Amino acid sequence: DFLYALARVLEITILILYGLIIARVLLSWLRLDPFGRGTLSHLVRFIYLATEPFLLPVRRVLFRYLPPMGLDLSPLVVILILILIRRFLISWLYRLALTLWI
């Protein structure tokens, strides 16, 4: 069923994004250079480039409405948004697929 497959693909994508964002937060604590040389730098660069399109818009909104602080809250906000999408939209797609399948 198309809706079930769509819900599954979205759910897997969200789970991958969870992992990438958490990895980015951990890597930011280690202060690894994403534009250095070596295999680890390629992995760090990939994680940064894969997560930045999701974090940058949230970071801009937070910067506009919150006072400057030393902590970047954008990963937390993006993960909360992903949790809400997974909780409501994807579960709704699964229920809809099950209803149409019966």
Task: For the chain, give the mean pLDDT.
Answer: 90
For residues 26 and 85, give the distance between their C-alpha atoms in angstroms, rounded to a whole number.
24
Looking at residue 37, its pLDDT comes to 78
Which amino acid is present at 86?
R
Higher pLDDT, 80 or 30: 80
pTM (two decimals): 0.85
Looking at residue 102, its pLDDT comes to 61
pLDDT per position as a tens digit, 20-58: 999 999 988 887 777 777 778 888 899 999 999 999 999
66 has a pLDDT exceeding 90: no
Neighbour-count burial for 28-63, b at 16+ CB within 10 Å, e otherwise: eeeebebeeeeeeeeebeebbeebeebbeebbeebe
